Amino acid sequence: MSSQPPRRSEQLSDAIEELIVTGSVTPGMRLDEQELADRFEVSRTPVREALIQLAAVGMVEIRPRRGAVVAEISSDRLCEMFEVMAELEAMCGRLAARRITPAEQLRLREAHLACQAARDAADADRYYGLNEDFHAAIYAASHNSFLEEQATTLHRRLRPYRRLQLRVRNRMQTSFDEHGAVVDAILAGDSEAAASRLRGHVIVQGERFADLVASLAMLDREREAAAGGRR
């Protein structure tokens, strides 16, 4: 039996999430149901359902009398979330190194090579999408469905910030090199090396966290300038 096509609300959830990820709507901004309905040429009902879905993963907050707004994350909270993400990824890598099947090894290699093509093309947006495929391949190879669900959910929540990191100079090349070290460890069955390398790949501390915060500040200035230009 063929799989069912995604519901309209799920498609809208992905579309609104993309607006958040790309900065078209910013943290704290109100998401007007009627404006979104007009934009996507649908009724307000699937828009409301989509916003509830996004609220469930923390990308949107439903506030009394204000409706839905894009969630805001403090720098301290963001650091905490990346710390948890790093440990979830490390656990996925540790289990994947022990449990990965030949078919999953092939999928992981292919995902890594696809990232290489995007890196060579200097296409950060394409690289980010393929980077998600790379990490999803590791989650699946852990053969722990609960862990896979949790890692996927938090990865999705951090998507705007992980994507923004690629704007930092040379980060795409560094990310690809780190991917290569992770692949080598998993394929060699070295569970502790796989965990350590994935943790180091994801954790955002020290200079990397300072770079991310600086990138966020720069993005805010760009948005303010653009808003000023529209007045």
Q: Which domain holds residue 39?
A: 8-70
Structure tokens at 53: 């879905």
Tell me whether residue 81 is in a domain.
yes
Q: Is residue 1 assigned to a domain?
A: no
> Tokens at residue 156, please?
């999705």
Last residue of a domain, one of 45, 70, 95: 70
Residue 111 belongs to domain with CATH number? 1.20.120.530
Q: How far is CA 7 from the centre of its chain?
A: 22
Contact 196, 90 (CB under 8 A): yes
pLDDT tier, 46 (very low <50, low <70, confident <90, very high otherwise): very high
**88 touches 150 (CB < 8 A):** yes
- Same domain for 128 and 193, yes or no, is yes
Q: How many domains does the chain have?
A: 2
**How far is Cα 203 from Cα 197, in angstroms, rounded to an integer?**
10
28-32, 59-63, 101-105, 201-205: segment of lowest average pLDDT: 201-205
* Tens digit of each residue's pLDDT (9 = 90 or more) over 146-205: 999 999 989 988 887 777 777 777 888 999 999 999 999 999 999 999 999 999 999 875
- The residue out of 70, 90, 123 marking a domain boundary is 70
Do residues 135 and 59 both lie within one domain? no
What is the pLDDT of the chain when averaged over all its residues?
86
